[in-house]
Amino acid sequence: MAPISLSAAAPQKKEKILIIIGDGAFGEQLAAAVRDAGYEVILVKNGIEGMKAVYDNMPHLVILDISVPGSDSYDILTEKGNEPMLARIPLFLMSVQGIPINMKRVPHNSVTEFIVAMHANIPDIISRINRHFGHEIKGASPEGANTGKKVFWVEDDKLIGNILSKKFISSGFQLFHAKNGDEAMAELKNVIPDIIVLDLMLPGMSGFDILQMVRQDGRLKNVPVMILSNLSKPSDIEKAKIMGVQKFLVKAAVSLDQIVAEVRAMAK
């Protein structure tokens, strides 16, 4: 794979970034691109040295690959979070080779941003870093240019709720988040969203129950609906289609970026 250049090197910035990644070729390319963007870069290729580098360098940002030799990335998250001085350092958790992230093993508030994609996109990673530090290129539109689009999302899982809420907001959406059917229907009395995203397995009424009430409400019946659930039986998918659902996504099979891209397309 040829080196990726982001054109001329950017002015030098003050931030120091630690990259912990096991993929040697991709790690070198990412480190070179981050340097070209004006940052100081420390590249470490295994988990044991990576954790030592966090202590030794106190970087402004850590980019951690989900799969690194020498240590478990989830253990690195836990160790970092247990040290008060290190816990404050922002961290991007990255999976760019199709390796799923086990959200149950991610400690609460340990990850600032998730980068999940089947194929590495170095310019996108640089853009995320620039946004994080407030160095967005002048004239560039925010991610997705979704300002003002209202997303109404019903999800009871706290970890997923925290992670995806941050992703929706950072992508420019106005987010309304309910944790169960009663809460959702009460809030929907006061807002007409551009899209409704529903989990199916919820406490109390199910996602299908909420969907039925939405379709019977004259104010909401034409709002596009996406199902985002771990249920994937053909009968559930067919029922959703009959009830007018435009998109059915299985949580375990899609990345955060894919979810946002689908929501963006439906909320136009």
pLDDT along the chain (268 residues), means of 10: 45 90 88 94 94 95 93 93 94 81 85 75 86 68 58 89 84 89 92 94 94 94 93 90 92 83 88
- What's residue 120's pLDDT? 67
Residue 242 in any domain: the answer is yes
Q: Are residues 147 and 261 in the same domain?
A: yes
- The answer on 125 and 24 residing in a single domain is yes
| Helix axis angle, 73-82 to 47-57, nearest 10° | 30
State the Cα–Cα distance between residues 181 and 178, nearest whole angstrom: 8
Q: What CATH number corresponds to the domain at position 189?
A: 3.40.50.2300
Q: Report yes or no: 62 and 38 within 8 Å, Cβ to Cβ.
A: no
**Pair (154, 110) in one structural domain:** no
The CA-atom distances, in angstroms, between 29 and each of 4, 14, 80, 137, 180 are 7, 21, 26, 21, 44
pLDDT, position 226: 96
If asked whether residues 113 and 188 sit together in one domain, one would say: no
- Is there a single domain that holds both residue 125 and residue 180? no
Q: What is the pLDDT of residue 95?
A: 84
Domain extent at residue 159: 143-266
Same domain for 105 and 126, yes or no, is yes
| DSSP code string of 14-55 | S-EEEEE-S-HHHHHHHHHHHHHTT-EEEEE-SHHHHHHHHH
Three-class secondary structure of residue 158 per DSSP: helix
Whether 149 and 193 map to the same domain: the answer is: yes
Q: What's the structural domain count of the chain?
A: 2
Query: Measured between alpha carbons, how far is 90 from 96 in angstroms, rounded to an integer?
Result: 19
DSSP 8-class letter at 153: E
Residue 8 is predicted with a pLDDT of 47
The amino acid at 256: L
Whole-number Å distance between alpha carbons of 203 and 9: 52
The reply to whether 154 and 260 lie within a common domain is yes
**Domain stop point among 69, 101, 133:** 133
Tokens matching residue 6: 């982001």
pLDDT at 7: 43
Same domain? 33 vs 55: yes
Domain boundary among 133, 151, 174: 133
State residue 22's pLDDT score. 86
- For residue 77, is it within any domain? yes
Q: Has residue 9 been placed in a domain?
A: no
The 3-state secondary structure of 69-80 reads CCCCHHHHHHHH
Inter-CA distances, 61 with 16, 20, 216, 259, Å: 7, 11, 48, 25
Out of 133, 159, 191, a domain closes at: 133
Domain contains 11:
no
44 lies in the same domain as 99: yes
